[in-house]
Structure 1
């Protein structure tokens, strides 16, 4: 997703968002919050979730009001950046990245805001990913992992038995699907929408990733180059990725094609389950195979909550966020949007409840998943470059070594500028 792993609905900005937090009464503090929308239509917009949470919180905390402005993922990060630039930061933002704001000294730390039990309840890997220079500023809000989805009916039609356990088997299954007339034997969305996620999944599958064990960028490692040469030659070059060039295929377009029964295999996150089920697609899910067996890890994606210092509402922000991370609210959000919880207590509750059975495979992958290097302020720039360039590495005549070396050089330059 990445991360993590999100959809759209755009609502108008709440009046009075600008400034230092409107007062609705002499003893009342109004918190302004901007949040991302996880719904796929106005009917299930995340605005409804936040309206309920805010109302419940306000009933227990009469001196605090919370106004939440929900924005689509296509605009929410840029919207918050514009507010911050104008000196009109919200009190709280729930968006895709926190590191730039933390590096500029604009955020409260998690220690400043959260009670000890709430902060200690975050899954350790997610807490660590929320750190800049060993201080946690990003509080994970939603998470997801990725699995390989496959269409059971298309597999049966093509005579594919079992599921792929290695790259060789995956390519062989894709060839059978192509021979059976499947439009997208393996959908490879390297378009701008989620290219960093698809890329990292394959790099992990190939045995490496974006960074090494000490956090140094390794985009142009020998193993990463081999991975993209295999994708270019053995999948794209053999016509196994469908009629749309991977660099022009966005994730949602690939998901839509899967839900129409046009895709044999693709990497997906939990929200694809509901979309496919609505269209009557019988699917299965397995971990993405590695070169010769199980992949090094799967991709983990987290979205982030943060509190801005600008309006000085530390105590009120902390009270609200403690309430937001109550198990009941965390599980309600997970159930509405098929998103994995970010706390240990909610994860344990989910694992024990039959109604969350469909998410268990994703949940089991989360503790050992690898996230984007979101603690680097350079990551936003590197991610943008990957979205723009990585599709070129697998097109006919593309040079994975050249593209990955260019990305590595940009990453190193961005890192040195931090």
Structure 2
């Protein structure tokens, strides 16, 4: 029976309502245990799934490989007839290698990588509701599920996430007699006192080409803006964003509070290394930095990002993605594997081992109460209300690259934030219109 447009809308509304109810159940710790998804269909007989995944081990070890090997052994024991072959690649290579596989008509069945939108737009991926049971799909944290949508259908399944609170060097703050800031004015005042106390880089502002699009978004959100507006169209040069970069230029960069390296030349990796070495007073931090700082004896304080008049109304969230490719036709088996991978034990194991955040309501609830994850609680508090970059847009990769190369110019001595953001914004709108 063919559904008319009104019936299709009603059906979609009912499904979303059910997903919302199930998410509420999950939040109470009552999420159903899922072992397979037998109603999804698929070919009978032995099947081998190929999984390509990114390496999260920052020390060059094999913890990522061990995680997937252990998960595969457990999954195969419950699903006779299905084998999973895992290929681990570095973050430097994994996105490119998957792209090459897809271009050569040799797509993996499952890829755990940094972006999904191009594959979704090309029709290469299964939608989330073609793979996951309703309890599993409903258990994703809302902002992460929304960020996984391309044209209102979820294709990207969040794998792990993080947020970025303000990190500060507790010893440097104690020496200068200052408290952690809660507003932009307090942040600038604290940075000034750190400078007066001999701190080389009071506030590290990495707007270099490594990850400027993320650093910029954190400040935009704190200033009431963002990359997109309420209609999900680019608004790079909005009044709020221009005011934010005017403030950065005048109150931090212009007063010599961002250190000897110009923000447009400073990459996140270098900023983090300097913080871990005790040379930086404050920066917008990442969970992985906690261990590195602790190894070198730096005591790290964490507070939510300050906003103009108080705590920022929204924090930036970041997610990595896992997805199922259609090419080999293994929908049922891919679904079985992903439903298994998203149980609480597996989600918590990977997130906890890598100082990252779980992507599901039930696993997040557990992490909040388990003492071994106490250092991640400040990140967890901001994740449910976080905003992610517009990763569901196929234009975002191009826009993001433009941002990386150019947004640092907005805070140079000769830079004009309105002009720099306007140029990026016009290019973004053109790229969006070409989608």
Distance (whole Å) between structure 1 residues aligned to residue 379 and residue 251 of structure 2: 28
Would you say 1:100 and 2:138 are equivalent positions?
A: no
Distance (whole Å) between structure 1 residues aligned to residue 80 and residue 279 of structure 2: 53
Matches within 5 A, 1:386-397: 386-397=403-414
Residue by residue over 1:63-116, the C-alpha shift from the partner in whole angstroms, topping out at 9 and shown as x without a partner, is 122122222222222221222122221111111111111111110011111122
Q: Could you tell me the TM-score, scaled by structure 2's length?
A: 0.87
Given that 2:183 and 2:307 are in contact with CA atoms closer than 8 Å, whether structure 1 keeps it comes out as yes
Name stretches of at least 5 consecutive residues in structure 1 with no aligned partner: 1-25
Q: Which residue of 2 aligns with 1:36?
A: 54
Which of 102, 115, 126 aligns to 1:84? It is 102
Distance (whole Å) between structure 2 residues aligned to residue 332 and residue 381 of structure 1: 34
Q: Which residue of 2 aligns with 1:335?
A: 352
Given that 2:150 and 2:392 are in contact with CA atoms closer than 8 Å, whether structure 1 keeps it comes out as yes
Residue by residue over 1:100-146, the C-alpha shift from the partner in whole angstroms, topping out at 9 and shown as x without a partner, is 11111110011111122211211122112111122111111111111
Matches within 5 A, 1:214-225: 214-225=231-242
Quickly say closer, same or farther: Cα 1:395–1:74, change in 2 above 3 A.
farther
Distance (whole Å) between structure 2 residues aligned to residue 183 and residue 33 of structure 1: 46
Which of 239, 242, 245 aligns to 2:259? It is 242
Distance (whole Å) between structure 2 residues aligned to residue 108 and residue 224 of structure 1: 36
Given that 2:207 and 2:264 are in contact with CA atoms closer than 8 Å, whether structure 1 keeps it comes out as yes
Aligned-partner SS, 1:141: strand
Distance (whole Å) between structure 2 residues aligned to residue 75 and residue 188 of structure 1: 27
Matches within 5 A, 1:66-145: 66-145=84-163
Q: Which residue of 2 aligns with 1:17?
A: none
The CA RMSD measured in Å over matched residues stands at 1.4
Q: Which residue of 1 aligns with 2:369?
A: 352
Would you say 1:383 and 2:376 are equivalent positions?
A: no
Aligned-partner SS, 2:158: strand
Distance (whole Å) between structure 2 residues aligned to residue 332 and residue 409 of structure 1: 43
Q: Which residue of 2 aligns with 1:15?
A: none
Which of 268, 282, 287 aligns to 1:270? It is 287
Instruction: Give the drift of 1:45.
Output: 4.2
Would you say 1:326 and 2:324 are equivalent positions?
A: no
Aligned-partner SS, 2:61: helix
Would you say 1:206 and 2:190 are equivalent positions?
A: no
Instruction: Give the drift of 1:182.
Output: 1.0
Given that 2:304 and 2:378 are in contact with CA atoms closer than 8 Å, whether structure 1 keeps it comes out as no
**Structure 1 residue runs of 4 or more that deviate by more than 3 Å after TM superposition:** none
Aligned-partner SS, 1:203: helix
Distance (whole Å) between structure 1 residues aligned to residue 176 and residue 369 of structure 2: 37
Aligned-partner SS, 2:379: helix
Would you say 1:310 and 2:327 are equivalent positions?
A: yes
Deviates more, 1:325-334 or 1:292-301: 292-301
Would you say 1:149 and 2:167 are equivalent positions?
A: yes
Distance (whole Å) between structure 2 residues aligned to residue 284 and residue 236 of structure 1: 23
Which of 293, 307, 314 aligns to 2:310? It is 293
Distance (whole Å) between structure 2 residues aligned to residue 243 and residue 348 of structure 1: 42
Given that 2:155 and 2:323 are in contact with CA atoms closer than 8 Å, whether structure 1 keeps it comes out as yes
Distance (whole Å) between structure 1 residues aligned to residue 65 and residue 323 of structure 2: 18
Instruction: Give the drift of 1:60.
Output: 2.2
Q: Which residue of 2 aligns with 1:178?
A: 195
Distance (whole Å) between structure 1 residues aligned to residue 94 and residue 207 of structure 2: 22
Q: Which residue of 2 aligns with 1:20?
A: none
Which of 51, 59, 65 aligns to 2:77? It is 59
Distance (whole Å) between structure 2 residues aligned to residue 66 and residue 193 of structure 1: 34
Given that 1:208 and 1:296 are in contact with CA atoms closer than 8 Å, whether structure 2 keeps it comes out as no
Distance (whole Å) between structure 1 residues aligned to residue 213 and residue 91 of structure 2: 15
Residue by residue over 1:309-353, the C-alpha shift from the partner in whole angstroms, topping out at 9 and shown as x without a partner, is 111111111111111101110010111001111111111111221
Q: Could you tell me the TM-score, scaled by structure 1's length?
A: 0.91
Q: Which residue of 1 aligns with 2:11?
A: none
Deviates more, 1:35-44 or 1:289-298: 35-44
